[in-house]
Amino acid sequence: MDVDIGIRKDLQPQYTGEEIAVFLILNYLQNDKNENLFISVDAIGYFLTGKFIDSQIDKNLIKGIKKGFEGLKKEEDVSILDQNRNNYIINSKSCRVDTKKNNFIIVHLWEIQKYFPL
């Protein structure tokens, strides 16, 4: 699947690798039609790796995804409206990159999955 995903260039230095990975997937999944995005750690793991993740085998990946969510929440870059364990409701607008106002980098989904093989 060849999908373009954008991330603002000016935010990169303040993001950790986990935060960038989670934000890229959130940016990929959000759309203008829905106000909220319902997402889980498992779904983020699937999009990062291209495979279903196993909670027993992929513990480090799961911890990294949770760390990414926490960092984005702390920096207030992504608006997490509600959370229940590994499930999140996120304001979709907070996951968008304004391509007219910001400089950004295009990343393809296959490029992300290349760095997260299981």
pLDDT tens digit sequence for 42-53: 999 999 998 999
Confidence (pTM)? 0.81
Could you list the residue range(s) of the whole structural domain that residue 103 is in? 4-115
Distance from C-alpha of 98 to C-alpha of 115, rounded to nearest angstrom: 26
CB-facing half-sphere around the CA of 70: CA atoms within 13 A: 8
pLDDT at 2: 47
- 42: Cβ contacts below 8 Å, ≥ 6 apart: 52, 53, 86
Distance from C-alpha of 72 to C-alpha of 19, rounded to nearest angstrom: 6
Q: What is the CATH number for 107?
A: 1.10.10
**Total tally of structural domains belonging to the chain:** 1
pLDDT tens digit sequence for 77-110: 899 999 999 999 999 998 887 777 777 777 777 8
- Of the chain, the end-to-end C-alpha distance in Å amounts to 18
More confident residue, 95 or 63: 63
CA 27 to chain centre: 6
